[in-house]
Amino acid sequence: MNYRDMSMAELLALAPPGWGGVLLDGLWLSLQVAGGGYLLGLLIGMAGAAGKLSGGPVTRDLLACYTTVIRAVPELVLILLLYFAVPEALNQLLVMVGQGEVEIGPFAAGIAVIALVQGAYATEVMRGAIRAIPDGQIEAAYSLGMSAAKTFRRITLPAMLPGALPGLSNLWLIATKDTALLAVVGFTELTLAARQAAGATKHHLLFLCAAGVLYLLVSLISNLVFKALEHRATRGMSHG
Amino acid sequence: MAERRLPPHRLVLIAIVVLGVTMMALQMRWDWLLDYRDAILGGLWLTLVLLVTTSVAGFLLAIPLGLVQATGPRPLAWLARCFCTLIRGTPLLLQIWLLYYGLGSLFPYLPGVRGSWLWPYLTEAWPYAFVALTLSFAGYEGEVMRGGFAGVPRGELEAARSLGMHPLAILRRIWLPRAVQRVLPTLNGELIIQLKATPLVATIAAVDTYAVFGRIRQETYLVYEPLLLMALIYLILAGLITLAFGVLERSWSRRSAGD
């Protein structure tokens, strides 16, 4: 293939020999991993915040360990741990109890890493947002005879959203950018796809910049969406 | 300060952790540590050097970036905002690769670069790592500094002006110290994030802690031990940063309270 004489449009074309399609496939994979990890991370964060606020002393200490360790160890190291060490340990355990081996692919490992990291940060974001709700509102819900689950769904969740959304939108941006790290274990998300296209065509600057533009678009669009969500969550409050 | 007694559940947790660590120390293979001691120390050194130099350089860049966004003329403020958005909107790994593989591939074609004094540096990995990490820190911290500058009460600046202080003197003696004081609590987290970003330079063949342990993993075929030790090292470094900031913040708040 003679990439040297191709124009920029031909290089970025969706169909091969252009590499645009490969980039978009990478972007789609990145978004899937980021989305899956983010949603799982929100669940972990919700449970973590609940545990930190109303759990017993042991739960609270364990959660403190979790959030501290995850936030101090580089994501790149966590990815290696989850991709190489955890499956190995899991399989040794499975073999010990006489089960077959399982294989954890880069996709699942990627979602797991992002969920774990996001969960640690989301725990702190949500804990802060829930703490900021005046106690009286939750007490009022209980005094009206609402169950704990209903109180959470109808009072705590909507009341904490305005406080939590800025932090959560930041976390989503971190999630999309963290997917790039999966390139080191050979997962062809956007960054690695761009690198492969760059390596094959020798047009390094073009493809890495194109990937950058795609990431930038994702973050700009996400910003707009979260702004709208924030606006909706804070309706009835003064916007100043 | 009165001695604090540890609650019993915490004693049990600590006992479990100590037991786990001793089990790991005794049961696992650590004989490779001696062979790789120098390599690990060398990697640790590069990690620390990168962390300190890029944070300092990035912070120095962040001051004008924040200041321009807070008060500067429109075009400059717009440029600074674009820079911050660009840095914060794309992954650092991509930025590092863009500099190393993208820009790096252009340099040989530029006339005069090959013969210049710069050339020996441009063929190595660490200058690209340094520039990428510095720009990244500046981008994130510039946004923080903008908030810091904007948050200094107007009255303090007006008081300085009414005393006839030169604008530069105001910046040096009132505005900057007050802004830095405001962002100090967030700086701890930013530094830990910067520490966690340093392993990315291993992808462009700079030999930091992460790269050394990658080599150890390849050469010894050990799955757990190098990874666990590496995680522990980063954990300790992050702990040291937090500890240092605790001391710094206490001394700072004592000083401002004593004034």
Q: Mean pLDDT, to the nearest integer, of B190-195?
A: 93
* pLDDT value, residue B255: 67
Residue A240 pLDDT > 60: no
CB < 8 Å to B97, chain A: 191, 194-195, 208
What the block records as the tokens of A85 is 């060490």
Residue B182 pLDDT > 50: yes
Indicate which CATH number applies to the domain containing B157.
1.10.3720.10
* pLDDT value, residue A215: 95
What are the tens digits of pLDDT across the range A125-163? 999 999 999 989 989 999 999 988 888 888 888 888 888
Residue B3 pLDDT > 60: no
Q: Is residue B1 part of a domain?
A: no
**Lookup result for tokens 């911050």:** B84
Q: What is the dihedral of CA B203, B206, B209, B211, to 10 degrees?
A: 50
The number of C-beta contacts closer than 8 angstroms across A and B is 117
Determine the distance in angstroms separating the CA of B41 from the nearest CA of chain A, rounded to an integer.
18
Q: Is residue B70 part of a domain?
A: yes
The CA-to-CA distance between both ends of chain A, in Å, stands at 58
What are the tens digits of pLDDT across the range B72-86? 788 999 999 999 999
Task: Say if CB A51 and CB A60 are below 8 A apart.
Answer: yes
| Interface predicted TM-score of the whole assembly (ipTM), two decimals | 0.87
Q: Is residue B120 part of a domain?
A: yes
pLDDT confidence of B257, banded at 50, 70, 90?
low
Q: Mean pLDDT, to the nearest integer, of B57-66?
A: 94
| CA distances for B34 relative to A216, B31, B39, B212, angstroms | 46, 6, 10, 14
* pLDDT value, residue A212: 94
Report how many domains make up chain B. 1
Interface of A with B (CB under 8 A): 57-58, 61-62, 69, 71-78, 80-81, 84-85, 88-89, 173, 177-181, 183-184, 191, 194-195, 198, 202, 204-205, 208-209, 211-212, 215-216, 219-220
Tell me the DSSP string of A178-239: HGGGGGGGT---HHHHHHHHHHHHS-HHHHHHHHHHHHHHHHHHHHHHHHHHHHHHTTTS--
Within 13 Å of residue B175, how many CA atoms lie on the same side as its CB? 24
* pLDDT value, residue B4: 67
Determine the distance in angstroms separating the CA of A179 from the nearest CA of chain B, rounded to an integer.
9
Residue B1 pLDDT > 60: no
Residue A174 pLDDT > 90: yes
Nearest-Cα residue of chain A relative to residue B234: A73
* pLDDT value, residue A239: 57
Q: Is residue B14 part of a domain?
A: no
State the Cα–Cα distance between residues A44 and B43, nearest whole angstrom: 34
> Please, what's the largest Cα pairwise distance for chain A?
75
pTM of the predicted model, to two decimals? 0.88
Tell me which of B154 and B117 has the higher pLDDT: B154
CB < 8 Å to A77, chain B: 199, 210, 227, 230-231, 234
Residue A14 pLDDT > 90: no
Q: Is residue B4 part of a domain?
A: no
Q: Mean pLDDT, to the nearest integer, of B174-184?
A: 89
Nearest-Cα residue of chain B relative to residue A223: B89
State the Cα–Cα distance between residues A95 and A101, nearest whole angstrom: 7
The residues near A110 (Cβ < 8 Å, ≥ 6 apart) are: A33, A37, A79, A179, A182, A187, A189
What are the tens digits of pLDDT across the range B91-101? 999 999 999 99
Residue B258 pLDDT > 70: no
Nearest-Cα residue of chain B relative to residue A199: B101
Check A77 against B210: CB less than 8 A apart: yes
* pLDDT value, residue A153: 87
Q: Mean pLDDT, to the nearest integer, of B191-218?
A: 92
Tell me which of A14 and A70 has the higher pLDDT: A70
**Average pLDDT value over all residues in chain B:** 88
Q: Is residue B11 part of a domain?
A: no
Q: Is residue B8 part of a domain?
A: no
Domain range for B96 is 35-258
Q: Mean pLDDT, to the nearest integer, of A202-219?
A: 91
Nearest-Cα residue of chain B relative to residue A65: B13
Check A177 against B238: CB less than 8 A apart: no
Residue A1 pLDDT > 80: no
Q: Is residue B180 part of a domain?
A: yes
Q: Residue B96: in which H helix or E strand, if any? A: helix B92-97
What the block records as the tokens of A208 is 């890495």
* pLDDT value, residue A172: 95
Task: Say if CB A129 and CB A45 are below 8 A apart.
Answer: no
